[in-house]
Structure 1
Amino acid sequence: MKWNNDVFKRYMEAGLAVLIVLTLGLAGAAGVLSPRAAESEQTEAAAGDDSTNASQENENKDSVTNPDMAEAQETIADGQYPIMGSSDITVQEMVDYFNASGEVYPAEELSEGGADSIETFCQMYYDEATAEGVRPEVAFAQTMKETGFLQYGGDASIEQFNFAGLGTTGNGVPGNSYPDVQTGIRAQIQHLKAYATSDSLNQECVDDRYEYVKKGSAPYVQWLGQQENPEGLGWATGDNYGYDIVGMIEEMM
C-alpha cells in the first residue's frame, strides 16, 4: 500500500508540473505575461494619436490665423485669380520672366528714376506690392502687358514712369506722370488695391485717381477687364484684358 501511495504521489506531481507548463505557455501566447509589450503598444498608439491631434491642431491653427490664404488658394483652384493675398513668386522669377521675353531692359531711361537694372526694378515691384497686400506677380504681369515689356510705344512714354496706363484715355492722351520709378509703381499698385478691396491703403496715397475707383469692384484679375467684369467696371476696355494677365502670370510662375 505504501508503494502504491508513492507511485500515486509521483504521478500527481508529474501531472501538476505538466499542467503548470501548459498554463505558462498559453498565458505567454495570449500576452498575459508580457506587460511591457502591452505597455509599449499602448504608448505607440498614444503617440500616434498625439501626432494626429497635433497635425489637426496645426491645420486648424493655419486656417484660423490665415483664412485669407486658404480662401485665396480655393479661389485660384476654382479658376479666379485674386489680386490680393500672399504669393510664392520670387524676385528672381520676375527677372527671369522679363529676360525670357528677349527684350532689352531700358537701363538708361529708368536709371534716371532710380531703377538701373531689371533686378532693382523687380525688387521695387515686390516690395511695393507686398506692402499693400497685393500679389507682386499681378502688378508685374500687368506692367509687362501694358508697356510691351518696357518698350512702350503707346500714348504714355517711358519718361513718365507710368507703368500701367494710369490716366491714358486714348487719342494721344499721355496720362499721369510720376517723379520716379518707385512712385509710379506705388501708384499702380494702389490703384490695383482700390479695384480689389475696400480696405484702406497702408502707405501714403500717391495715386491721384484712387478716389475715382469703386472699391472692391474687381477682386479678381480676370475682372480687371470691363467686358468680363459682372458690373461692367474695370481697368481697361480691351477684350480679355484680365485673362491675358492671368496667362502671363501662369507663364511667369
Structure 2
Amino acid sequence: MHLEWNKLKTPGYLEIGLAVILIITMAGIGGWKRHQSVVIAKEAEMIHKVEVENQNAKEKQESKTKKSEEKNEDDSVQETTANGQYPIMGESPVTVEQLVSYFKSAGVAYPTEELKKGGADSIETFATMYCEEAAAEGVRPEVAFVQTMKETGWLQFGGDVSVEQFNFAGLGTTGGGVPGNAYPDVRTGIRAQIQHLKAYASTEPLNQACVDERYEYVLKGCAPYVEWLGQRENPAGTGWATAEKYGYSIVSMIGKM
C-alpha cells in the first residue's frame, strides 16, 4: 500500500516542479522582453536626440554662412565707396545688361547707322565692348560707360566731337570748335578712353598696346576716385575736366544706374 501511494503521488510532484520551472522561465522571458523594450526605447531616444542636435548644428552653420555672405556683400559695397569715394579701378558687379538698360532709360535712339561703321551695330554690342575693354585694364566699366553718356549726351553728340570720330570722352578737345582725337573704330575709341582713365587712377602699366595719344601727359595715379576727375576737386589740382563737380556728376549718374 505504501509503495502504491508513492507511485500515485510521484507524478504530482513532477507536474508541480515542471509548472514552477515553466513559470520561472516565462517570467524570465517576459523580463527579458521588457528589458529589451527599455533598451530599444532608450536607443530610439538617443538617436532622436542626435538627429535633433545635428539639425540644430546644421541650421546654426547655415545661419552663420548666410551672415558671413551678407557681411561680404556689405564689405564689397563699402569697398566700392572706399573713404566715401568711388574708385575707378577694381572689379565690378555691373553687367552688360545693366549698361544697356541704363542707356535705354534715357529714351533716346542709338546711332546705329553711324556706329555700325565702327563695328558696334547695337547698344548691346557697344556695352559689351565697354565691359571687355574695362576688364582688360582693371577699370570699372560703369565709370567709363557713364562718362561717355555724360560727354556725348547719351551718344547724340552735337558738340565739338562728331559721332564719326569714335571719340566717346572728348579726348583732345579743348573747346572752341577743337574736334579732338579720332579713332579708326568704336573699340579703339573705347580703349583709348579706358586707358586714359587708368592713367589718372593708377600707376600700373597698361595691359594692352597704348592707343591713347595723351596717356603720357597724365600724372599717373593722381585721381584714383571718380570724384577727383574734376580739376577743382582734385587734391593735386589736376584732373580730366575743368567743370565744377565733374566727377561728382558721374558718380551721381552711376547711382541712378
Give TM-score, length-normalised by structure 1.
0.73
**Which amino acid is 2:133 matched to?**
E
- Secondary structure of the equivalent of 1:244? helix
Which residue of 1 is the match for residue 176 of structure 2? 171
The alpha carbon displacement at 1:37 in A equals 8.8
The alpha carbon displacement at 1:74 in A equals 3.3
**Which amino acid is 1:197 matched to?**
S
Which residue of 1 is the match for residue 230 of structure 2? 225
The alpha carbon displacement at 1:154 in A equals 1.2
Which residue of 2 is the match for residue 123 of structure 1? 128
Give the 5 Å matches for 1:173-212. 173-212=178-217
Percent identity among equivalent residues?
A: 62
Q: Closer, same or farther in 2 for the Cα pair 1:43/1:202, shift >3 Å?
A: farther
**Which amino acid is 1:91 matched to?**
V
- Secondary structure of the equivalent of 2:203? coil
Q: Closer, same or farther in 2 for the Cα pair 1:46/1:200, shift >3 Å?
A: farther
Q: Which runs of 5+ in 2 are unaligned?
A: 1-41
Q: State whether residues 72 and 85 of structure 1, in contact with CA within 8 Å, keep that contact through their aligned partners in structure 2.
A: no
The alpha carbon displacement at 1:76 in A equals 3.8
Give a deviation string over 1:170-201, Cα, whole Å, max 9, x none.
11111000000000000000000000000011
RMSD: 3.1
Q: State whether residues 72 and 82 of structure 1, in contact with CA within 8 Å, keep that contact through their aligned partners in structure 2.
A: no
Q: Closer, same or farther in 2 for the Cα pair 1:48/1:237, shift >3 Å?
A: farther
**Which amino acid is 1:74 matched to?**
Q
**1:173 and 1:197 mapped to 2: Cα distance?**
28
Flag as ranges the 4+ runs of structure 1 deviating above 4 A: 34-53, 69-73
**1:99 maps to which of 85, 97, 104:** 104
The alpha carbon displacement at 1:96 in A equals 0.8
The yes-or-no answer on 1:244 pairing with 2:233 is no
Higher Cα Rg: structure 1 or 2? 2
- Secondary structure of the equivalent of 1:216? coil
**1:136 maps to which of 114, 124, 141:** 141
The yes-or-no answer on 1:85 pairing with 2:86 is no
Q: State whether residues 165 and 175 of structure 1, in contact with CA within 8 Å, keep that contact through their aligned partners in structure 2.
A: yes
**1:72 and 1:219 mapped to 2: Cα distance?**
17
